[in-house]
Amino acid sequence: MEKRFYQKEIETMDRESMRALQSERLVKQVKHVWDNVPYYRNLMEEKGVTLDDIKGIDDLHKLPFLTKDDLRDQYPYGLLATDIENCVRIQSTSGTTGKRVVAFYTQDDVNLWEDCCARALVAVGADKGDVCQVSYGYGLFTGGPGLNGGSHKVGCLTLPMSSGNTDRQIQFMLDLGATVLCCTPSYAAFLAESLKEAGLSPEDNKLKAGIFGAEPWTEEMRRDIEKNLGIKAYDIYGLTETSGPGVAFECREQSGMHINEDHFVAEIIDPDTGEVLPEGEKGELVFTSLTKEAFPLLRYRTRDITVLSREKCSCGRTLVKMKKPMGRSDDMLIIRGVNVFPSQIETVLLKEGYTPNYQIVVDRVNNTDTLDVYVEMNPESFSDVVKDIGSDADKLAGAMKTMLGISPKVHLVAPKSIVRSEGKAVRVIDNRKLHD
* Residue among 23 and 163 whose Cβ is closer to ligand DLL: 163
CB of 222 to ligand DLL, least distance (A): 11
Q: Smaller CB distance to ligand DLL: residue 416 or 435?
A: 435
Question: 23 vs 142, which CB is nearer to ligand DLL?
Answer: 142
C-alpha distances in Å from residue 377, one per residue of 132, 394, 395: 49, 14, 13
Least distance to ligand DLL, CB of residue 85, Å: 26
Q: Tell me if 83 sits within 8 A of 66, measured CB to CB.
A: no
Count of CB atoms within 10 A of residue 416's CB? 12
| Least distance in angstroms from the C-beta of 81 to ligand DLL | 19
- The distance of closest approach from Cβ of residue 433 to ligand DLL in the complex, given in angstroms and rounded to an integer, is 15
Kindly state the smallest distance separating residue 325's Cβ from ligand DLL, in Å: 4
Q: Using the minimum distance from each CB to ligand DLL, give the nearer residue, 87 or 239.
A: 239
Query: Which positions touch ligand DLL (CB under 6 A)?
Result: 93-94, 136, 142-143, 213-216, 235-240, 244-245, 302, 304, 324-325, 328, 334, 339
Cβ-based nearer residue to ligand DLL, 257 or 397: 257
Residue with smaller CB distance to ligand DLL, 149 or 325: 325
Ranked by CB distance to ligand DLL, the top (closest) residue is 213
In degrees, rounded to 5, the angle at the alpha carbon of residue 114 between the alpha carbons of residues 110 and 117 is 145
Report the C-alpha gap between 199 and 10 in whole angstroms.
45
CB atoms within 10 A of CB 64: 16
Cis check: omega of the bond before 76, within 30 degrees of 0: yes
Residue 46 belongs to what H/E stretch?
A: helix 38-46
Beta-bridge partners for 106: 87
State phi, psi for 90 to the nearest 5 degrees: -125, 155
Cα(280)–Cα(346) distance, integer angstroms: 38
d(CA 129, CA 120): 17
Q: Where are the beta strands (DSSP E) in 276-315?
A: 283-289, 300-306, 308-309
CB of 93 to ligand DLL, least distance (A): 4
At closest approach, how far in Å is the CB of 324 from ligand DLL? 6
Query: b vs e for 206-224, b when ≥16 Cβ sit within 10 Å of the residue's Cβ?
Result: bbbbbbbbbbbbbeebbeb
> Which CB sits closer to ligand DLL, 334 or 418?
334
Nearer to ligand DLL, 150 or 408 (CB): 150
Residues written for the chain: 436
Evaluate the omega torsion of the peptide bond into residue 356 and state whether it is cis, within 30 degrees of 0. Answer: no
Q: How far is the CB of 238 from ligand DLL (least distance, A)?
A: 4
**Cβ closest to ligand DLL, residue 62 vs residue 152:** 152
- For ligand DLL, give the closer residue by CB, 89 or 328: 328
Q: Are 427 and 419 in contact (CB under 8 A)?
A: no
Task: Kindly state the smallest distance separating residue 171's Cβ from ligand DLL, in Å.
Answer: 23
Residue 288 near residue 25, CB atoms below 8 Å: no
CA 374 to chain centre: 27
In three-state secondary structure terms, 261 is: coil
Q: How far is the CB of 200 from ligand DLL (least distance, A)?
A: 26
